[in-house]
Chain A
Amino acid sequence: MSAKLDRLKKVLRIVVGARLRTLIEDRGELTAEVAAADYFEVARILRDHADLKFEQLIDLTGLDYSTHADAARARGKRFATVLHLLSYAHNWRLRLRTFAEDNAFPVLNSICELWPAANWYEREAFDLLGIVYRGHEDLRRILTDYGFEGHPLRKDFPVSGYVEMRYDAEAGRVLYQPVTIEPRENTPRIVREASYGGSAHG
């Protein structure tokens, strides 16, 4: 498998060249990072170039790096879109990450034109993270409720949300009201230092 990854790495270096910001191999997977300006063009090359041939967009998702322990990696940028591509001809996978330039209003080019499958994935990323895809024809919310406000997968959005819904017998209809759940955390989130617990203790 690793010989194959080396070959893919080599092809990427030649074909995509300077537009690759980083190319990392980790746990048998390859992650490429490109600038937002090059995103669409690189995606097109990945799909069309005979030595790459990523025919299928397996997955497209967004990430919010604002509370990541290793935030320095994101270089102050908050939102990224991550593509998982699969080539049937060569049987290899690639992860492509692009950070949106603006943290307050993240915008990236839409890749629906290249892979029609991106349509709903981009709608989902827009819905859950608020990333706007320029050129998307139908960028509506998809998973959340009609009239929902906010983007739930952003790190500053509480798990319990802001509104709750109940049936009101007097009004004879469903009502929205502010949440009444007390926020609680059963297990705190902890990042330990690398030597914690010591593997020597097995």
Chain B
Amino acid sequence: MAETEIRNYTLNFGPQHPAAHGVLRMVLELDGEVVERVDPHIGLLHRGTEKLAEARTWVQSVPYMDRLDYVSMMCNEHAYCLAVEKLLGVDVPERAQYIRVMMDEVTRILNHLMGIGSHAFDIGAMTMILYTFREREDLMDVYEAVSGARLHSAYYRPGGVYRDLPETMPKYQPNRFKNEKTVAKLNEAREGSLLDFLADFTNRFPKCCDDYETLLTENRIWKQRTVGVGVVSPERALALGFTGPMLRGSNIAWDLRKKQPYEVYDRVDFDIPVGKNGDCYDRYLVRMAEMRQSNEIIRQCIAWLREHPGPVITDNLKVAPPKREKMKAGMEELIHHFKLFSEGIHVPPGEVYAAIEHPKGEFGVYAVSDGANKPYRIKLRAPGFAHMAAMDELARGHMLADVTALMGTLDLVFGDVDR
């Protein structure tokens, strides 16, 4: 029998591939169907955010942060604002801290719904993404109600948040597709304030989580695709720079919200879910449990916010603009307003690193100031970058089809990998 020569061959995955979660090109070296080496080519979405930030005043960079990880917008802003506040030494009003925590948790649910939904979608469970996007829609409405934008909110500002929570929710209007009766039913939860709407959501959401779990948790196909795939040991997870659910999936109970609390996380009650085996399935379970925890945190924040009205942004006019009425009537306020929006905040020299527990992991902002009205250097520590770097190690020895499962479990968004 003639000897057959089997050669490795190289497969180009992406840059435009539905399972690539954006624009990722991967050069896969295959031996039959087994992956031998992965070489991810990132940077196709590189917009030079760090360079742009150096050419803008401190406040002007806040909207750029939304565009990093564009499924958890407010968390990115949060880290940036924390860094600026730390440099300035400005205190944030308590109400603003609670609003931030609440919106962070809304964002976490948004992110995990997207992550789990698209992960399941990528490996064949199409219903999931339809379910999760239904709940995402409600939370997107929350985003829109507080900031005016569904995605790129620019709601957090150094010193607090842009404005207080609204007293009314936008409502559906009857049209030729929806009659009065349907609209009245849709608007049921929207009759009160934003907090009422969100409270209604937190009551509904655990049931939704149960629905997702009935679909996936004991699903045989889902388990076959995820159990034992992409196993990371705790030591390896640390060495590779994993953070967030990727680390907790490997049985390390580390959460910045508990270990290095910022804002008012030390005053809310929640648990840190951890996985055992460090595979895709455990990370899915961790994300699922985290959504339920976030739901509880939101509930606690709503209760506090209902009781405690107050200012939502610092009254330090060197940092935050004055009230509009005051600006129209007072010279001092007018000057401050003008200087703030023309020249911007002057940040004292120094360097800080501010990190938050972003839904994907540790999102950090390393800000260096030399005393000017613009940053000297901003370095954004994106969790996805470290996770993507581990792709090669995770995928080695797995089948080609598992690469998609791994992409899903890494929960990548190229806005923050490429910056």
Q: Name A's B-contacting residues (CB within 8 A).
A: 26-29, 31, 55-59, 61, 63-64, 68-70, 82, 84, 88, 91, 93, 95, 115-117, 119-121, 124, 128, 141-145, 152-153, 157, 159, 185, 187, 189-192, 196-197, 199, 201-202
Contacts and interface: CB of A to CB of B under 8 A. Distances in A.
B351 A31 contact: yes
Main SS class of interface, B: mixed
A26 B350 contact: yes
Nearest to B381: A59
Given A58-B364, A61-B366, A142-B42, 11 more contacts: A27-B89, A27-B352, A57-B241, A69-B376, A70-B370, A70-B371, A84-B353, A84-B381, A88-B252, A116-B241, A187-B374
A152 to B, nearest CB: 6
Contact of A69 (B349, B364, B389): B349
A82 B373 contact: no
Nearest to A26: B350
A145 B43 contact: yes
Given A84-B364, A189-B372, A27 B51 contact: no
A91 B374 CA distance: 32
A10 to B, nearest CB: 21
B199 interface: no
Interface in B361-379: 362, 364, 366, 368, 370-374, 376-377, 379
Nearest to A159: B55
A190 B343 contact: yes
A88 B260 CA distance: 11
Contacts of B317: 202
Nearest to A31: B351
B353 A144 contact: no
Interface size class of B (residues with CB under 8 A): 35 or more
Contact of B364 (A31, A59, A116): A59
A69 B372 contact: yes
A116 B238 contact: no
Given A115-B241, A145-B43, A190-B343, A29 B353 contact: yes
A191 B51 contact: no
B238 A88 contact: yes
Given A58-B362, A88-B252, A143 B42 contact: yes
22 contacts: A27-B86, A31-B351, A55-B238, A59-B353, A69-B370, A70-B371, A82-B366, A84-B353, A88-B238, A91-B260, A117-B239, A120-B385, A120-B386, A120-B388, A143-B42, A144-B43, A187-B60, A187-B343, A187-B344, A187-B374, A190-B373, A192-B371
Interface string B11-24: 00000000000000
B254 A88 contact: yes
Contacts of A61: 366, 379
B252 to A, nearest CB: 7
A153 B252 contact: no
A192 B374 CA distance: 12
A55 B252 CA distance: 13
A120 B349 CA distance: 29
A69 B374 CA distance: 12
Nearest to A192: B346
Contacts of B351: 26, 29, 31, 95
Nearest to A88: B254
Contact of B418 (A55, A63, A143, A196): A143
Interface in B19-75: 42-43, 46, 48, 50-52, 54-57, 60
Contact of B51 (A58, A121, A159): A159
A93 B318 contact: no
A29 B374 contact: no
B273 to A, nearest CB: 18
Interface string B220-242: 00000000000000000011110
A60 to B, nearest CB: 9
Contacts of A157: 51
Interface string B377-397: 101010001101100010000
B324 interface: no
A93 B353 contact: yes
B240 A117 contact: yes
A35 B353 CA distance: 22
* Top-8 shortest CB links A-B: A117-B241, A69-B370, A143-B43, A120-B389, A59-B381, A61-B379, A143-B46, A191-B372
B43 A142 contact: yes
A44 B226 CA distance: 36
A128 to B, nearest CB: 8
Interface string B89-122: 1000000000000000000000000000000000
A56 B364 contact: no
Contacts of B240: 116-117
A155 B89 CA distance: 28
B211 interface: no
B332 A201 contact: yes
Contacts of A192: 346, 371
A163 B56 CA distance: 22
Contacts of B343: 187, 190
Contacts of A202: 317
A58 B385 CA distance: 11
B353 A95 contact: yes
A27 B196 CA distance: 39
A151 to B, nearest CB: 11
